[in-house]
Amino acid sequence: MASVVPVKEKKLMDVKLGELPSWILMRDFTPKGTAGAFQRGYYRYHNKYVNEKRGGVAMVLAAYMLFNYCPCYKELKHQRLCKYH
């Protein structure tokens, strides 16, 4: 038999549609609670993508590609809009 978890302690993905209004009302919408939620999200992102063991090689590569794409955007946009007959 599965253990019963209170609605307040469930993650959003585990909440059923009928429990959603009561789950939303149990959240902490004070400035301190909202700041804590953003802080948890920031730390979760930081630990998942920035503090990885391999040093974030994929993020460095993605940033390199983005910064090289930006100066060439005008030329690429012009070529994309040209019609070839």
pLDDT tens figures, 30-83 = 999 999 989 999 998 888 877 776 656 777 888 888 888 888 777 777 666 666
Whether residues 23 and 47 fall in one domain: yes
| Full domain range(s) for residue 61 | 54-84
pTM above 0.85, yes or no: no
Query: How deeply is 82 buried, as exposed, middle or buried, from its count of CB atoms within 10 A (0-12, 13-18, 19+)?
Result: exposed
Residue 2 within a domain: no
* Predicted local confidence at residue 54, as pLDDT: 66
pLDDT reported for residue 32? 94
Max distance between CA atoms of the chain, in angstroms, equals 69
Three-state SS at 42? helix
Instruction: Please check whether residues 13 and 24 belong to one and the same domain.
Output: yes
Q: Are residues 34 and 63 in the same domain?
A: no
What is the model's pLDDT at position 42?
93
